[in-house]
Structure 1
Amino acid sequence: MSDAETTPTSETPAPADQPAAEAAGTAAGGAGDSLAQRNDNRSHRPSSKAFVEFITSGWAPRADLGVEPARAVPFTAARRARLAAQFPGARLVIPAGSLKTRSNDTDYRFRPHSAFAHLTGLGTDQEPDAVLVLHPVAPGTGDPDADGTRGDHHAVLYVRPLAARDTEEFYADSRYGEFWVGARPTLEDVTTLTGIEARHVDELRDALAKDIGAGVTLLVVLGADEAVETLVEAIRAEAGADTVDAEAADVRAATGEAAAAPELSDAKLVEAASELRLVKDALEVEHMREAVARTIEGFEQVVRNLPRAVAHRRGERVIETTFDAHARLEGNAVGYETIAAAGEHATTLHWITNDGVVREGELVLVDAGVEVDALYTADVTRTLPVTGTFTDVQRRIYTAVLDAADAAFAVAVPGNRFRDVHAAAMEVIAARLEEWGLLPDGVTAEVALTPEGQQHRRWMVHGTSHHLGLDVHDCAQARREMYQDAVIEPGMVFTIEPGLYFKSDDLAVPEEYRGIGVRIEDDVLVTADGNENLSAALPRRPEDVEAWMAGLLG
């Protein structure tokens, strides 16, 4: 990593009789500096007038980047309209989030909050500190929807724009300066790219405070940016306004709209933004297809590198880094920490330490997904025989899990409920465990499946499905009636991922089962007449897995 100490300095050298440590402390401001200021101990940036004049002059005009409107523009306009329609008269604040410190003065790579990405179309590392605000306006005068219908909100994107080259930020700010992190887009660039009016983030406070307590309610998506939440709370306090604006409520009551009016709260905004993603639009489905395709390529790379994994003392890391490097090359990153669980580690559901050996004759469970530049992620699991061939016991367990997955696919269709997908998989798992004699004495599969039973869940404690999209566990803040209890609709994308996990010290199963963990996970798009397995190109049946691996291993 580049260090500011490599920059020429204008400080006077320390006297020969002054200790180096003392000299460094003096140069940095000495012991009187605050702890925050001492982060600059490593930096010796010139501050002379001559330096400032020279570094801020002599630059050619910036080239026109040729920014074009993103393909997402009409889709995000429709999404914003759907969200805003649920909160008439409210000002909706959706932050991208801020840079987060990884250690001392280094930051994690930025990823915007999913609600912000969904409503703006911005992905990759765009745009730290930005805030999308949907301002209430007179009905019928707001931003047009995709079909041209005008609503009652106007979107403004408050961003930190490109700084001029005669500013200190240009050369001195290691978080935002062009010299350090590259040029940011101008306000005009942001407006063109997103189709949303862009303004300087310095205007945010005044814009949020307008008419609060006088007919406008201020709501913010929680969990995205603590500083913005604090600002919203301060504005409410100054205006003497609760989350629900009393005057606005009185107006609705007087016009007979009170019964139909939504509850206006930050939590409701979070909930609504999450539920907005339950049914994907055409562009989102396209992004999901891309994420799955790149993920399948990553699995192919993993199989090709299994011999190298076997030979390495931390073979699981070989698998992890193989997939993660592919994800970074072909997408934005991985959508979540890759699980590369060999042998007994496969019985730990979220094994991400990935420091174990990979042994011939055992299975390796790989749960991984590529997040594309638009930030949509796949989530796919395959359990692979390390040497390319299943043993009889491994195949028996694997087939049971596959049968459970197929049963779940059969009911993952419009008209059924989301919870039916899990129930169908559990019927197969419980029946197979009964067949193998693993359920407690006197407990049948039918008994185990009752709410009072559930003994079969000892070997599969997780659920069978979750929604998928911008988050690997997408739409997590949706209401139960919109998620678990919801009727399945075309456009939903979710996983089907049953498993069986027999720990090495599990005395309730025969020894031959111990230390074996199997999970098969696919990404499913619900269609008008059924469903489509988006990850079907990655083999699932044991004989197909073996043939596929043989072709890749040569």
Structure 2
Amino acid sequence: MLSDLDILMVARGLDGLLVMGDSSGNPVMQYLVGNVHFERALIYKPVGGETTLIHGSMERDNAADTGYRLVDRDQVYNAYEYLKRHDGNQLDASVHMLLDVLRDSGMQGTVGFYGTQDVGAGWTLLNNLADRLEGIDIKGEFGQTLFAEARATKDSRELAELAELGRRTCTVVHEVEDFLTGHAVAGDHVVKEDGTPLTIGDVRTFLRGRLQLQELAEDHQTIFAQGAEAGVPHNAGTNSVRLRTGSPIIFDIFPKGRSGYFHDMTRTWCLGHAPDHVAEAWSATKQLFDEVMARFRVGEACASFQAQACDFYEGLGHPTPRTHPGTHEGYVHSLGHGIGLDVHEGPNLSLAQGNTDVLQPGHVITVEPGLYYPDQGWGVRHEDAVALNEDGELVWLTNYPAELVLSMRG
């Protein structure tokens, strides 16, 4: 949680931290400033000290809403003045400005650097900065960074926001279901009022309109894939594909709210009826989901749930990542992941070497078992997002029926 930053800094041997970049597309900066727009911002914080935001003059009203100590960048660290001093050399000007910021911050010792920037540009900037620093060692982290660990547990404000996102997402899913089932069937195809086939592109157009009404956005394309395309987990589905009865559809929706937080859920649907082999696979997958959720509690090892999923599917004769690493059929992925300001963040329900995470209060995780056989023309997946609140109680964020077959009303 955000309130744990000082504790996490001490545990990592950090004397301070500095975060760089725009707030857009930069989850660490957004985590600190909320749903407020900043360009080329800087935030620094000594361990145990107050947080300072360096912002542009045009964003001073936005900055006032953060509650941080504020410094107007254009008045104190004016970019044009630094460029004048360095004859237009952007690298030298940027390094000079950061040297001044770090001097004025009073931070000494080991300072962690965070934020989002082009990899090559960031490497060049920090190497040049390190060569000119005195009394400060730059530390970069990889993998489970300070902010990755902080963001993995959500506070009550974040949990409330994620619950609201779940409610809005389920509203959209219900509207899509109603849209589909209201269409007529001609032969084995779903058709519109004029008798032309209903396509995935038609569904996507309807979906985007409903998302907009709920103030939700697609960060990248929602998965609405049918048949063989549903057999590849991240195949988004081809717009020109005509919807057919009895062919499994994987509908994986992961919209982003105005706050920057995500929801994530998946339903598998068959319109009208389901083939026996699809119904059997879906029933097994839902059984596994229910068995996992029966032991989903604080203190359980995250990796143990992936082991449970592999045990279950292997017992039914399906390949898994444990028996067939890199498999394209059977059970092909991990069981779930955290959600927040990224649609995939910690903790992870995987058997990856080094995954020692255990479930904690504040964790928000998706659980998504599935089976995939693209060469046989099908895939199934079921996914809900759940949370463990600050008291360790399980809270369902995805409140939507689990039904494979949708009856057509048109």
- TM-score, normalised to structure 1, is 0.60
Deviation at 1:424, TM superposition (A): 2.0
Query: 2:62 is aligned with what amino acid?
Result: V
- What pairs up with 1:70-149 in 2 under 5 angstroms? 78-86=3-11, 90-97=15-22, 111-122=24-35, 126-134=37-45, 136=46
1:451 to 1:368, Cα distance in 2 relative to 1, 3 A: closer
Distance 1:431-1:491 versus aligned 2 partners, 3 A rule: same
Task: Using the TM superposition, give the Cα deviation of residue 127 of structure 1 relative to its aligned residue in structure 2, in angstroms.
Answer: 2.0
Distance 2:384 2:349 in 1: 22
Distance 1:525 1:130 in 2: 32
User: Separation in 2 of the partners of 1:498 and 1:470?
Assistant: 23
CA-CA distance at 1:131 after TM superposition: 2.3
**Structure 1 residue aligned with 2:114:** 221
Note the 1:361-440 alignment, pairs <5 A: 361-387=246-272, 389-433=273-317
Distance 1:457 1:419, change over 3 A: farther
Moved more, 229-238 or 494-503: 229-238
- Structure 1 Cα separation of the partners of residues 349 and 331 of structure 2: 24
Residue in structure 1 matched with residue 401 of structure 2 by the alignment: 539
Q: 1:267 aligns with which of 141, 148, 153?
A: 141
State the AA in 1 paired with 2:360.
E
Q: How far apart in 2 are the matches of 1:211 and 1:477?
A: 39
Q: Which has the higher strand share?
A: 2
Tell whether 2:336 aligns with 1:462. no
Instruction: Give the CA deviation at 1:213.
Output: 11
Alpha-carbon distance between aligned partners in 1 of 2:151 and 2:366, rounded to the nearest angstrom: 15
Alpha-carbon separation, structure 2, partners of 1:113 and 1:300: 32
Identify which of structures 1 and 2 has the higher relative contact order when contacts are C-alpha pairs closer than 8 Å and 6+ apart.
2
- Match of residue 193 from structure 1: 65
CA spacing shift, 1:331–1:482, aligned 2, 3 Å: farther
Structure 2 residue aligned with 1:169 = none
Letter in 1 for 2:131: A
Once residues 423 and 481 of structure 1 are traced to their aligned partners in structure 2, the CA distance between those partners, rounded to angstroms, is 11
Assess if the C-alpha contact under 8 Å between 1:220 and 1:269 holds in 2: no
Q: Pick the aligned partner of 1:155 from 51, 63, 78.
A: 51
Matching of residue 285 in structure 1 with residue 196 in structure 2: no
State, as a whole percentage, how many aligned pairs show the same letter: 22
SS of the residue 1:299 aligns to: helix
C-alpha distance in 1 between matches for 2:258 and 2:206: 19
Which residue of structure 2 aligns with residue 503 of structure 1? 374
State how 1:511-526 maps to structure 2 within 5 Å. 514-526=376-388
Residue 365 to residue 310, structure 1, CA distance change in 2 (3 Å): farther
* Equivalent-residue separation in structure 2 for 1:310 and 1:207 (angstroms): 66
Distance 1:402 1:352, change over 3 A: same
Aligned partners of 2:13, 2:320: CA distance in 1, in Å? 45
1:198-241 CA distance string (max 9 Å, x none): 32334253543417999344432154466666544333222367
Task: Give 5+ residue unaligned stretches, structure 2.
Answer: 78-96, 185-189
| In 2: Cα distance, 1:81 partner to 1:299 partner | 40
Secondary structure of 2:402's counterpart equals coil
What is the aligned partner in structure 1 of residue 211 from structure 2?
327
1:342 and 2:226 are equivalent in the alignment: yes
Q: Which amino acid aligns with 1:234?
A: N
Aligned letter for 1:361? G
Shift of 1:405: 0.9
1:433-448 aligned at under 5 Å gives the runs 433=317
Q: Which amino acid aligns with 1:533?
A: W
Give the whole-Å Cα distance in 2 for the aligned partners of 1:281 and 1:213: 30
**Is the CA contact 1:95–1:225 (under 8 Å) kept in the aligned structure 2?**
no
- Residue 93 of structure 1: how far off its partner (Å): 1.8
**What's the secondary structure of 1:461's corresponding residue?**
coil
2:360 aligned partner: 489
**Do 1:97 and 1:225's aligned partners in 2 also have CA atoms closer than 8 Å?**
no
Q: 1:214 to 1:451 in 2, by over 3 A?
A: closer
Moved more, 479-488 or 328-337: 479-488
Q: Partner amino acid for 2:250? A: L
Post-superposition offset of 1:89: 6.1
Letter in 1 for 2:199: G
What is the alpha-carbon distance in structure 2 between the residues aligned to residue 479 and residue 90 of structure 1? 33
User: What is the one-letter code of the residue matched to 2:346?
Assistant: C
> Comparing 89-98 with 193-202, which one deviates more in the overlay?
89-98
C-alpha change, 1:116 and 1:501, in structure 2 (3 Å) is: same
For normalisation by structure 2, the TM-score amounts to: 0.79
The Cα of 1:522 is off from its aligned counterpart by 0.6
Cα RMSD after superposing both structures: 3.6
Matches of 2:123 and 2:325, distance apart in 1: 42
Q: Distance in 1 between matches of 2:8 and 2:353?
A: 16
SS of alignment partner, residue 71 of structure 2:
strand
The whole-number CA distance in structure 2 between the counterparts of 1:294 and 1:420 is 31
CA distance in 2: counterparts of 1:214 and 1:281, whole angstroms: 28
Pick closer, same or farther for the CA change 1:408–1:454 going to 2, 3 Å. Answer: farther
**Secondary structure of residue in 1 paired with 2:298:** coil
- Native 8 Å contact 2:20 2:42 kept in 1: yes
Q: Distance in 2 between matches of 1:291 and 1:322?
A: 19
Query: Highest Rg: 1 or 2?
Result: 1
Distance 1:410 1:270, change over 3 A: closer
2:130 to 236, 260, 272: 236
Counterpart of 1:146 in structure 2 is none
In structure 2, relative to structure 1, the CA distance for the partners of 1:459 and 1:450 (3 Å cut) is closer
CA contact (8 A) 1:401 1:519 kept: yes
Task: For 1:90 and 1:478, locate their aligned partners in 2 and report how far apart those are by CA, in whole Å.
Answer: 32
